[in-house]
Structure formats: structure tokens, C-alpha cells
Structure 1
Amino acid sequence: MSSLVLTNARFQLIETARTPIAVIGSAFWPAASMLAFVVPFAGSDPVAATYATASMVTFAVMSTNLFQYGVGVADDRVQPWEPYVRTLPAGALPRFAGRLLSGLALMAFSLLPVVLIAAFLTAATVSPLAFLTAIGVTAVISVPFILMGLAIGYSMPPKAAVVVAQVLFFPLAFAGGLMTAPGGAPGFVEDLAPYLPTGASVRLMWAAVGDYPLHMGSVLSLIAWIVALAGVALWAYRRDEGRRFS
């Protein structure tokens, strides 16, 4: 089973790499945001730069997974190869797990420029323990956005998936407080953000890299989003399975 998972992951990565702009694009916007907003305005302040980098990491996690799974899955569903693979005796698990591994690899690639820019062009600083904690938090906060992408990808055709991903992208970033420093967003955003997947995620990142207090409300909100989005993604997958193979 593990070899099948790795084979599927390798296939997904090769398939994505055949369209280089898809790989480059996933890393471009977070890096461009770092260079345009973080470096000139918060780069010389260690605390502000550290929090801003955590926000950009969350931004990259959201954007990469939302488009990678939302648009990627929707596009795969209309290709002849996807229905064929889903009828093979190995079942859906190797294909599904391989997609997750390839998506995580692309996410890591998109995060690399953000980390390098923070390290060399800003005064951001974290301890080794905080850095390791942030890596773990990054893996956790990727889950709701992977599930959100899967729900979009399995329930919509490619053209609709692109639009929905784009429509969700900026409002989730703004309303989650990713565009401002901790406590610097407008009042209604500060009230709403902890209960959105982006707001809950970035607050966990801030707590991992700095002295930002960890609120249980954000943790419970993130868990609730994971459970809810898992239910929607499962429903979308089974609905697609029933339509195409029953």
C-alpha cells in the first residue's frame, strides 16, 4: 500500500510540474506579499516581522491548499484517467493519500521563499523550539484548507471551482486578520476572526512563534471547522462517486 501511495504522489508531482506556472504561482504570491508589505513596513522590528511572517505562512497554507485541491481535483475529475484509476482494485485510498502527499510537498515549496525572505531580509527571529512548534502548527492548520479544497473540487466543475476558490480567497484572508498585526484589524474583524478557519489558524501560528496568548476559542473553532469541512468533503466525494459509478 505504501508503495502505491508514493507512486501516486510521484505521479501527481510530475503532472503538476509539467505546468511550471502552477508550481511557481503557488510560491509567488506569499513571497510577493512578504517583499511588498512585510519587508518595508515591519522588517526592522523583530516582533512585528515575526508575527507578519507567521501571517504570511498562514496565507500561503490557505492559498496553496485551496487552489491545489479545489481546482486540481475538479480538473482531474473531467479527465479520462481519474475515473479509470478510481475503478482499479486498489481502491481510492492510494490515490487520495498520494494527492495529500503531493499537496503537502507543494505547500512546503510555497513556504520556502517566505521563510528565506524572513530569515535574510527581516529582523524576524524564533527559537529552535518555536520553529519546530511552528512546523507542527503549519501541518495542523493545513487540514481545514485541504478539506475545503477537496469539498470544492469534488462538488464543482473546473470553471466553477476556480471562481469559488478565488471568491473565498481574499475574504477569508481579510476577515481572518491575515492582513494586519495582532490586534490591529478593525473591530468587527477582531471579533469575527477567531471563529474563521484563517483567523483561528493564524492565532495558533502567532502563539507558536511569539508571546501571543493561545485562546481555547480559536482551538475549538479550528476543530469545529475541521469536523464540518470533513463532513462536507466526504459528502461531496460520495456524491461524485454515486453520480459517476452507480
Structure 2
Amino acid sequence: MSRENEPTKQFHFEILRYDASNDAQPRFQSYALEASGGISVLEALLKIQEEQDPSLAFRYACRGAICGSCAMAINSRLDLACRVLLKSLPAGRVVLEPLPNYDVIKDLVLDMDPFWEKYERVRPWLQAEVVEGGERRMSEDEREKIDQYVNCILCGLCYGACPVLASNEKFTGPAALAKLYRFLADAREERDGETLEQEDGTEGVWGCHTITRCIQVCPRNVRPTDGIEGVRRKLLVHKFKKVMGSGR
């Protein structure tokens, strides 16, 4: 039996509604949906939008936990709506809210600009001189060191889960810092210490309290806290070399 053909039941949805351009306060709106427990929360949202309320706003793209667009809070748990099945939620009650630590544009649609601005700030690309032949090769062992960080899909769940960002919105955040480590640990990387020095402070790597909420919510098993610890080590080595090089 396919998951769509599983027996149907009544699900009760409570969705936090808010339009930043019109509403003074957010409010919960209720929806009842008869659906198979084998469908995902995202599929249920699409049914509600199509059959009951076309004004409901949320993001999605791939529907297969690849793009990360449908990140939200589902019964207070941060996850991708496309990978959570209705039958996994107790008592048929589904409470949907936007991720914490973001401003809301409308309903479950977030303003991702701060996330992307911080991501861009760490220069998340390989900085190396062009070599003859056009390829810079790396060994399997070297690749394995950065594999988990390459797997990040930039869904923003870790940013929403981070307790530091809840109190310090200037903190760079786990996604960007883990991606910085992905390149610092790349054997082909040749960047200078400018990006490292930029993150030397409580708004950068020293702001992380190693609570590991980012690890707990990652749908791709990335461990951002480990990456942040790696950046800290790289930074300390850089500072030591800088001091020794200056003769102090």
C-alpha cells in the first residue's frame, strides 16, 4: 500500500497567520483536513491551500528534503515540512509556526536576508590561484574531512534553533560559520586570515555556547558546532603565527 493510500483520518491544524504589511499581531487559524496519515506536512499544507485557503503562504520547492525551503516549526519541533509525515504527529493535531530568530514576511514565509548576508560575509567559496590544467585535486582523506559540511542544504533550521541568535541577532550563526570551516579545512584553500579575524569576537566564533541545538535539528546530519570549534582552532593557530611572525 502506498503512503497516499493509507486510511484517512481527521487532522486538526493550527497555523500561525501573520502578514507583516497589514497585521498588528499574529494569530492562530484552525483548519480541519481529512487526509492519509502517509502524506507529509507539506502535502497537507498544499491541500489546505488548494481546497480551503489560497491566502495561506509558505515556501517549498523540491518536496524531497533537498532544497530546504520548507523549514518551519511543527508541533514546536524545527524540521522540514516535506519530510515529516502526518502519522508521526500524535493525536492528529498539527501546530505550524514560522522558525524562530527570523522576521516573518507572511505566515510561514521568513525574511531570509539576514541569514544570507551573514552567509555571504564568510566568503563561502574556494579562494585559490588558478593552476595549469584548470583542476585542483584533493585526496579521498582530504575530501572526507569536509564531507558533512558540503552536505549542508542551507535550510536555516540551525539558525532558527540557535539560542545565541535569540539574544544576539548580530551573531554570525551556525550555518555560515560551519560553511566557513568547510573552506578553511579544504586542502586547496589559500585564503588569508582576513575572514578568520572578522569572526574573532562574540558576534563570531566566540559567541557560540556549544549548546548543540544546531546539531539536533539538522536534516542532513551536519554538525555545525564541530565546524565552529574547527574555526576557533584555525583562528588560534593564525593568531599564534601572526604574533610569532611579528617578533612579539
- In the superposition, the TM-score normalised over structure 2's length comes to 0.28
Based on CA coordinates, which of the two structures has the bigger radius of gyration? 2
- Greater strand share, structure number: 2
- In the superposition, the TM-score normalised over structure 1's length comes to 0.28
